[in-house]
Structure 1
Amino acid sequence: MSVLHQRDWFEFILDLGLLERHLVTSDPSPEPSGCSLIVQFLYHANMTEQVYKTDLPDPQAEIKSKRIKILRVLAIKTASILDWNLLKFEKEIPIAVMSDLLHIFLRLTMNDNNEPKYHSQLELDKLENQTLFALQLLHRWCIRSVIFSKFPKKPPTKPVSVNMPGSLNSLQHMKDANENILKVITQNVNESVDFLEKMFNSYSGSVYKPLSDCFVNLNSETGYYDLKWENSSKIESDEIKAYISYDLGMHFFQIDNYEKSFLYFCYIKEFFSNSKNILHSLSELTLYANELESYMLACKSMLNLKLDEKDSSVTTNDNYTKQIINRIIKIDNCLQSNPVEIYTLLKEDCKICQLSLNYRANLETFVKFQNFDPKIIDLVSCSNLIRTVLNECSFYLNYKLDTLESISEVVGDLIDDLSQQSRKNLLLFIDVNFRKFNRKNQVALKNIMVKYKINNLSDIEIKMDIDEQKFVESTPSSPPLSSINVNTFKENSLLAYAKLSIQTSDPMILKNCINKYNLNSKTGLRFFWPKWQSFANELNNVVSNSNYMTNSYKLNNVNDADYFYICYAKIQQLIGLNKFSSALKLYKSYENSYNQSQKVAKFIRNQYLYLLIRNFIYNFDYSNVRDDQLTYMCRLEIKKKSTIPINQDEIIKYCRSFFDNCKHDSDISTELMENVFAFLLTIGEFNVLLAQESNFQNIQKKNIMNLNSPVFSLFKLTRQISRICLDMNKLDKNALRKIARELWDNLIESFTDTNRSEQTQSQGAQARDLQLTYQSREAIRKMFLLIKNRHVRTLIISVLTTIFNVADTQANLEINNELRYLWPSSLANVTSLNLNSLTDLLNSLLIDSLNYLNPFESNWLKTYSDILNTKNLINDSIRGYLQVLCCETKYFFKQAQRKGSGFKKTEEEFDDKIIRSLIKSCLSLNKHTQAALLCQCLSNNNNYGSAFKYLQDGAWCTLTSDEMDMMYPCIWDMALLEYLTNLNYQRGFINKKNVCIQLIGKENINPANPNEIIKKTTEAKKSLLFLKLLNYYFNN
């Protein structure tokens, strides 16, 4: 018996003609297959490249470089022989290898130019035909990979076979690489969608599919090959749009955008109807046609469109989709012939949750519109309500529960077949909304809850119609029902008093409600609403942990206890709504009611101080901040927006008293301490903070408080910031650096991950230390964000920026830093620094500063733009640089004098730094023309070499996308215009050359003009350039 010889991959390098003879044969399944050869070629090319790029000397480096080129070209040629069939590739080639293949192919069609970051910004008409084919193929594959990755997959049942040496199995290799590539393309799938939609809507030309004849004269010894793109096969615009529309249709179908999905599927269906004679040669489109009708049917059902008779016979290879479609078909058939069975189908779907909520909502609307039997409408509504509860655990829905007659019937039919978690969600929904159902359903639902042993059955019949959201929205400083007198109720209704107590935040009305309610109730009013009970438990835990009491509050009577707990609950909710004035009113009466217990009174005073500070910071008026550079001790004012008069000196007095009481307090609230420190730093009371050093030293020595508490780290940072701010203009730079070094070291210590040996520390101790570290960092973050002093905020941003700039090894520029001279230039241990946490804090501070403190602060803008640049967020960084120019310059030239500015920078240094950053960013985005024009704005006039190079790159590169023609009127340098005229003439762009000649002929840019005219022309052109850049980057 003869044994077929299986070819090895290297044989195709030794005999370059073997590839076509091997694949173009009568054998339908050659060994190895074409897809297997692609995997092997790229695998060995990458392995060779890894060895080739090592630092060790390699005498065969040149040979390996040539081998890499040939292997990659062979992989692309193999794909062209297989007719670039994505369906075949997706089944047999791993994602990582496929990504490598398509990106190599794209770079090859671009003549090895740098691949742009955002393909959707390219001008399609300027791209070569083969480049367009490569781009659409890449993005179609990206979308399809994301779609297929979300389909349910059947786990493998057969054991994995072991491959022979030299053979690769795509199912066994590169699992991690496949997952990483899939994660990246999933994150960037919107970019692929944007490109394909742009190509579908705006490109009407043909594309050319490279064939194997395009890759000729391959030589494995020299690594040489020729690219004959003219041998490509032409694909008409309608055909390529058919491929694109199918993939876009699948994408929008998966994200539930059925309108767009249906439009794209309609296009490809129309293409099939007009191109039946060519479908036999389009194998890929033929397979698309087999699935198209299934998607069309699903879209029609989701959109409530009329179904054709032939739709009921549609089949699909995807079992999950098939089940959904079959269920939709059954429902549509029932609508026409037997509407009673609709409930049965919807009830089954509640158990397996296949139909989307959108479809079920549309079905309910259709049933109501068609005037079906009220019983059927009610059953559909009830089943949809239960399905929503099971899917989202939503307890407040847009259903009038008292009008649903069949809710108990639907619950009874479903509850036995539900999973434990779904049953729990359903019972919880019934429990919360019990009083909203009518009496008939209440009886039936109570029996169901008895069956499943709900704990609070004793209270179930007195549940009230309370909606927490209504309470939250009806607690303003002047409550809508505050004018109602409790005595106006004719009957002594407990419910009426309870409702009024929820709606009011007036102390007198609340006390009256409590007194009236408790006269006729066995339990206090605080037990009426479970939310109040949860706040009461929270309060008990806080106070008992603080050693304020031994057993419970010693209150005079039930009414006092109710008022105490309910006031606390209301105050916490008002704080959550930022209604501090109303909360302070309650606290006034809250504080004066309990002078018999010193411990409770102390807790109340601390809470009152917290409210005063929050009210001050919340009503802070940033427009009144004085920008005085000569001193950092600026006393800030606030706008009197609050109904409670805010006395700054009174708050300082409370802070001093609070610090005095801390000497004997073993458990100080970290949140309160954050606010106190932030308030004193905001108003510039640095001496008050420094005076507390002895207090904290005594606390530390006597072990009154846990030494690992975040309070100590907060005080250290606050003390060091205060010292720097006080001595900023008193000491020389060397003395100031010594003080600043302490702040530097403490911040690095706070953001350093400690690695202790497992032998000396148990697992529990490690977890505890880790938790303390996170608590400390979170406390620092909250305090820094609460500080509203511009100079203190600048100091904090400066030190964090320096640490980030020094620690981030990938940073490619020196980040702008207003106080850089204060900080060291190196770090001792960069590896243990948690750079992610520090970067998050820095970003939060910069965003908060620009959004709420001063959006025109140029130093913050420059720092933030530089950080965005280091993270390769180029478009965002350019916007930031342009904002800086808006704030500090006029048309890139005149620096605006800032009020009280003490930082001396020459006009040339400042302009050059920003403009060079802009030039670098523009080049990263292939905006060569913009970069060349910005060279005119540099202070050094000898920039023609760089400008000419950028213009030449922009003219000859097919990837440039910066509205090149629109930028010509912004040129005021005659040399650049003359160079552009010659460059366009060489390229054959006659119209562009004529535009340049017309600009040269204008009198205003004649070098012989007087200096005054030249200056005005230059300023006008710079103004135009500035406006065009603003329009380009802020409107695109």
Structure 2
Amino acid sequence: MSAEAADREAATSSRPCTPPQTSWFEFVLEEALLEQHLQKPSPDPPPVQLIVQFLEQASKPSVNEQNQVQPPPDNKRNRILKLLALKVAAHLKWDLDVLEKSLSVPVLNMLLNELLCISKVPPGTKHVDVDLSSLPPTTAMAILLYNRWAIRTIVQSSFPVKQVKPGPPQLNVMNQIQQEKELTENILKVLKEQAADSILVLEGALKLNKDLYVHTIRTLDLLAMEPGMVNGETESSTAGLKISAEEIQCQVCYDLGAIYFQQGSTNAAVHEKAKEKFFRTKELIAKNGSSSLHFTIDEERLAGYCQACEVLTSSSDDASQRATPYSQIHSCMKSGKYQDLVKIFLEDNLTLSLPEQFRQSVLRELFQKAQQGNDALDEVCFKVCVCNTVCDVLQGRIIDIQFCQLFLKPSKEKIDFLLEVCQGSINLENASEELKRKMAAFLKNLCLGMEDLQFVFMISSHELFIKLLKDDERKLLIDQMRKRSPRINLCTKPVTSFYDIPASASVNIGQLEHQLILSVDPWRIRQILIELHGMTSERQFWMISNKWEVPNVYGNVILGIKDSLTRDLVYILMAKGLHCCAIKDFVHAKQLFAACLELVTEFSPKLRQVMLNEMLLLDIYTHEAGAGVSGERPPSDLISRVRGYLEMRVPDIPLRQVIAEECVAFLLNWCETEYLTMQVPLPLVQTNPYVKLGQLLAATCKELPGPKESRRTAKDLWEVVVQICSVSNQHKRGNDGRVSLIKHRESTLGIMYRSELLSFIKKLREPLVLTTILSLFVKLHNVREDIVNDIAAEHISIWPSSIPNLQSVDFEAVAITVKELVSYALTINANNHFWLIIQADIYFATNQYSAALHYYLQAGAVCSDFFNKMVPPDVYTDQVIKRMIKCCSLLNCHTQVAILCQFLREVDYKTAFKALQEQNSHDAMDSYYEYIWDVTILEYLTYLHHKRGETDKRQIAIKAIGQTELNASNPEEVLQLAAQRRKKKFLQAMAKLYF
């Protein structure tokens, strides 16, 4: 034996042996085995699986000598199997919650019918005609069990169920699933027809004031014995499991309440009956508890039913109305008495009976009503939001952003109401220390967040604030607030001389530093720094705030300034200017940069050029955020300055990469293609990657739409981008001696990193430039070998169709880039139909079919005035229509598939007919027939419904085909007009569905 074989044998022998699963036929052969198996802690197979196996074997059809399929024979074997299934159910104490959760409707139906049969209920007898009081206890209980299950199944079938996504198609499995589905639907149909009888049976059971018995394994054994072997024990004896009359009433009331509540959706009066049953269930639970050996009631669900019934039914009992906040809130919202809502929410802040989600949903509804033009609700929204916020504070939850937004501009009235809510939401005598701490922290943080001392004083002098905060805590808070308040008169007049501003020695360093952080006035900053340097020469004041950030390329030059005051001033002015620029406060940024430029001009040509570069970037930002938004071209001097920056050759000037980026993007956005392609100096193209990329983009766009002429520049651009998206492969030898391949995602093979390219593209706004770069990335995405669904784009034919070394391209990064670029492009123009088609194709390729349909429809809508005009054929190409057909098919919207098949240049009858044959359709089906204009499809529909015996649907199809405008004898113009009208209505209907 080889060493490898010996290892394998040793490993196998060392594994613990799993005991074999007991087969169903072993229980048939050995009578006592079932009880022994069920007594195990974790029996394998579990009880519910045994029920399925026993009934499945007992219901197998037989084949006679003529090879004809016969119903299952009523022989001893099948009777034993059915009895075994009943015994397992008896072991589970006939708990419908357990049985319904694990067994399908057909299996449970068969099991309960066997129970009725063995309990001596005559087959074919209507349960409503039977007097339950005259029946043996186990027989009456069997009838009750069956009818309870019937109405529970009806209720359960009304709930929406998420469909399980099918796996790989297997014919036998699919047939079994379809058969079980049809069988379930047939059973449900019968149960719904008999629902009224089942309700009457259960209502009659409520009048029974006696205990009943349910079959156990022992009673089932007794019934299976021959009459001479029962030893005097009869079916009506007390050998079964006793169920008290109150337990039966509790469960029956709950089940009746559920069916009445479900029927209330079509008959509001039935809600009263549901309410009566649910409240009776509540009383019985309060008396006996919610659990028994036979059943368990979900008390949370019952409470939800009770609350819903209270809201849905009008009660004359005013005390009851006052006792339930839900009904009060519902009444206020319905009647428009919104002011009363505030009182309800305030009272609930003490009781905390309303869940957080319910409070938020009411507030959302109020906000929606306010946005629809009801200005009077603004105050109510604020007050309800305050009540919710105080409730969140007391329960330790995070304060909602809506409160912060509403409190951006506080007023005396708002603060008065907030303090009223805080005081009304906490009982200081009985409140815990934790609640007091939470409320105190909230009020304290509120004070620290306010700038107006008048409002702070209103809070700090309030009775609740004084009681919650200790003297030393209040004193410390007031000191903090005083330090924040400005004590110096700000200098509003510009000072022409730099060192002539007198320092004020009466202000301490901490206050001055605080003012230095807050100020954006360059002259005030200068004054504060002079005062601070007059007080101490040991500190470096440019370091007092970690928010002051200057790029490293500038920082090294600025920190080399010898004079400490000048160094601090230059650093702070630049840092504040950059911050203002980042938050789009361009006015203050310009003032700060101008002051800094004036200062550095006196002693540093290098820093002077730095500031001129930063002011150029600021002017670009200012124009793009202002006049550029409306399409106004930038002034010629700004364009000249941008060109001058790109051509600048001053040595040793620290440069920020973002400025070159913005300059090239600026020229592309304003179509300065002539400069980028013809006039830009060659050394600049060779040294600046952004200029090179911009030149290639401009040249490619300039020569569009002539694909032959632009192939050269397009190929150059393609090669540059492919190199950027390539990964560098390295080999590494591991400890085991094997060589592994390492891929570096961010490769330095290209002229820039992919992240830098993406950042640059997101600065572009010119549609043709964006379309070109997007087209390139789409083509690069489609080149990969394992691609299943290509993405379509404009000008895609200008790019090369292959890459020499496919393995070197990081296609995962390319796919991510395509998604990001399309999303960005749609923020620039959400109505570009070609970009919308690309977005739809991406969703289609990633199997997000509903989202794909949304964007396909949006692309058609934006270029056809919401389908009132004909969608251009270059938008809805055959490929797009086929993808829409596939989306609808995979969403099980088969009627939509058939209608879309008409949109193709050659109608796809095969696909349309196959779709119409599907009965499991999730769309409006026959409501869509009015949108069909192809007579052949309508004729097939008529034949199909006739074959299925669907008379109503057949009549709808006949009505659609009988319209005179579809007559084949009509002129072509009439037929085209009829088709166009139906296309328009269908696409508008689809848009309403998917938008």
Q: Normalization by structure 1: what TM-score?
A: 0.54
Which of 582, 586, 600 does residue 580 from structure 1 map onto?
586
Which of 678, 694, 699 does residue 665 from structure 2 map onto?
678
Instruction: Give the match for residue 762 of structure 2.
Output: 785
Supply the AA of the counterpart residue of 2:774: I
Shift of 1:870: 0.7
Instruction: Give the match for residue 669 of structure 1.
Output: 656
Q: Distance in 2 between the 1:82 and 1:483 partners?
A: 90
Shift of 1:692: 5.5
What residue ranges of structure 2 are gaps of 5+ in the alignment?
1-16, 54-80, 109-150, 166-187, 199-250, 262-273, 308-321, 325-349, 353-392, 404-416, 496-501, 736-741
Shift of 1:801: 1.0
Q: Is the 8 A contact 1:720 1:743 kept in 2?
A: yes
Which of 931, 938, 944 does residue 909 from structure 2 map onto?
944
Q: Is the 8 A contact 2:881 2:900 kept in 1?
A: yes
Supply the AA of the counterpart residue of 2:670: I
Shift of 1:932: 0.7
Instruction: Give the match for residue 931 of structure 1.
Output: 897
SS at match of 1:756: strand
Which of 897, 915, 919 does residue 881 from structure 2 map onto?
915
Shift of 1:523: 5.0
Q: Distance in 1 between the 2:93 and 2:578 partners?
A: 59
Count residues with an aligned counterpart.
704
Instruction: Give the match for residue 464 of structure 1.
Output: 484
Shift of 1:108: 12
Correspondence 1:33 to 2:41: no
Q: Normalization by structure 2: what TM-score?
A: 0.56
Q: Distance in 2 between the 1:579 and 1:86 partners?
A: 74
Correspondence 1:368 to 2:423: yes
Shift of 1:511: 1.3
Shift of 1:1013: 3.3
Q: Distance in 1 between the 2:648 and 2:613 partners?
A: 12
Mapping 1:430-579, distance limit 5 Å: 438-439=474-475, 463-465=483-485, 510-511=522-523, 514-515=526-527, 518=530, 522-523=534-535, 533-536=545-548, 538-539=549-550, 541-545=552-556, 548=557, 551-553=559-561, 558=565, 564-579=570-585
Q: Distance in 2 between the 1:527 and 1:578 partners?
A: 31
Q: Is the 8 A contact 2:931 2:983 kept in 1?
A: yes
Q: Distance in 2 between the 1:981 and 1:968 partners?
A: 11
User: 1:444-483 CA deviation, whole Å, 9 max, x = no partner?
Assistant: xxxxxxxxxxxxxxxx8984259xxxxxxxxxxxxxx998
Q: 1:403 to 1:462 in 2, by over 3 A?
A: closer
Q: Distance in 2 between the 1:817 and 1:985 partners?
A: 45
User: 1:80-99 CA deviation, whole Å, 9 max, x = no partner?
Assistant: 967999999999xxxxxx9x
Q: Distance in 2 between the 1:84 and 1:494 partners?
A: 87
Supply the AA of the counterpart residue of 1:682: N
Which of 286, 294, 299 does residue 296 from structure 2 map onto?
286
Q: Is the 8 A contact 2:843 2:851 kept in 1?
A: yes
User: 1:839-893 CA deviation, whole Å, 9 max, x = no partner?
Assistant: 33322221222222x3222221111111111111211211211122224458979
SS at match of 2:731: coil
Q: 1:138 to 1:769 in 2, by over 3 A?
A: closer
Which of 944, 947, 950 does residue 989 from structure 1 map onto?
950
Q: 1:296 to 1:37 in 2, by over 3 A?
A: closer
Shift of 1:922: 0.9
Shift of 1:615: 2.3
Which of 599, 609, 618 does residue 602 from structure 1 map onto?
609
Q: Distance in 2 between the 1:18 and 1:530 partners?
A: 92
Supply the AA of the counterpart residue of 1:1021: R
Shift of 1:786: 0.4
SS at match of 1:818: coil
Q: 1:9 to 1:379 in 2, by over 3 A?
A: closer
User: 1:820-841 CA deviation, whole Å, 9 max, x = no partner?
Assistant: 2122334455566444433333
Q: Distance in 2 between the 1:388 and 1:87 partners?
A: 58
Instruction: Give the match for residue 683 of structure 2.
Output: 695
Q: 1:654 to 1:1020 in 2, by over 3 A?
A: closer
Supply the AA of the counterpart residue of 2:777: L
Q: Which has the higher contact order (CA 8 A, sep 6+)?
A: 1
Q: Distance in 1 between the 2:764 and 2:278 partners?
A: 59
Q: Distance in 2 between the 1:134 and 1:606 partners?
A: 70
Supply the AA of the counterpart residue of 2:641: K
Supply the AA of the counterpart residue of 2:832: E
Q: Is the 8 A contact 2:941 2:957 kept in 1?
A: yes
Instruction: Give the match for residue 749 of structure 1.
Output: 723
Which of 616, 620, 624 does residue 613 from structure 1 map onto?
620
User: 1:795-819 CA deviation, whole Å, 9 max, x = no partner?
Assistant: 110111122223383x532211212
Instruction: Give the match for residue 827 of structure 2.
Output: 851
Q: Distance in 2 between the 1:694 and 1:522 partners?
A: 53
Mapping 1:118-137, distance limit 5 Å: none
Shift of 1:296: 12
Q: Is the 8 A contact 1:970 1:1024 kept in 2?
A: yes
Supply the AA of the counterpart residue of 2:484: M
Q: 1:858 to 1:531 in 2, by over 3 A?
A: farther
Shift of 1:964: 1.5
User: 1:899-931 CA deviation, whole Å, 9 max, x = no partner?
Assistant: xxxxxxxx4895423322221111111111111
Correspondence 1:817 to 2:793: yes
Supply the AA of the counterpart residue of 2:896: Q
User: 1:20-49 CA deviation, whole Å, 9 max, x = no partner?
Assistant: 99667784337733349979x99xxxxxxx
Which of 5, 23, 26 does residue 12 from structure 1 map onto?
23
Q: Is the 8 A contact 2:600 2:608 kept in 1?
A: yes
Q: Is the 8 A contact 1:751 1:777 kept in 2?
A: yes
Instruction: Give the match for residue 255 of structure 1.
Output: none
Q: Is the 8 A contact 2:516 2:528 kept in 1?
A: no
Q: Distance in 1 between the 2:106 and 2:778 partners?
A: 37
Q: Is the 8 A contact 2:839 2:855 kept in 1?
A: yes
Q: 1:808 to 1:108 in 2, by over 3 A?
A: farther
Q: 1:795 to 1:594 in 2, by over 3 A?
A: same
Q: 1:267 to 1:673 in 2, by over 3 A?
A: farther
SS at match of 2:762: helix
User: 1:655-687 CA deviation, whole Å, 9 max, x = no partner?
Assistant: 42344237655x642222221221122223345
Supply the AA of the counterpart residue of 2:611: I
User: 1:547-603 CA deviation, whole Å, 9 max, x = no partner?
Assistant: x35x53356x84x66653443343233223223344234433432332121121122
Identity level (%)? 19
- Kindly name which structure, 1 or 2, has the bigger radius of gyration based on alpha carbons: 2
Q: Is the 8 A contact 1:720 1:742 kept in 2?
A: yes
Q: Distance in 1 between the 2:695 and 2:526 partners?
A: 47
Shift of 1:950: 1.4
Instruction: Give the match for residue 645 of structure 2.
Output: 657
SS at match of 2:915: helix
Correspondence 1:1026 to 2:992: no
Q: Is the 8 A contact 2:929 2:957 kept in 1?
A: yes
Which of 847, 850, 854 does residue 875 from structure 1 map onto?
850
Q: Distance in 1 between the 2:711 and 2:94 partners?
A: 65
SS at match of 1:757: strand
SS at match of 1:615: helix
Instruction: Give the match for residue 647 of structure 1.
Output: 635
Q: Distance in 2 between the 1:240 and 1:8 partners?
A: 46
SS at match of 2:794: coil
Supply the AA of the counterpart residue of 1:357: R
What residue ranges of structure 1 are gaps of 5+ in the alignment?
1-5, 43-73, 92-97, 110-127, 143-198, 209-234, 246-263, 298-304, 308-330, 334-352, 414-433, 444-459, 467-480, 625-636, 639-645, 700-710, 898-906
SS at match of 2:976: helix
Report the RMSD for the aligned CA atoms in angstroms. 6.5
Q: 1:1021 to 1:139 in 2, by over 3 A?
A: closer
Q: Distance in 1 between the 2:869 and 2:728 partners?
A: 50
Comparing 687-696 with 1004-1013, which one deviates more in the overlay?
A: 687-696
Q: Distance in 2 between the 1:591 and 1:968 partners?
A: 74
Q: Is the 8 A contact 2:460 2:466 kept in 1?
A: no
Q: Is the 8 A contact 2:727 2:810 kept in 1?
A: yes
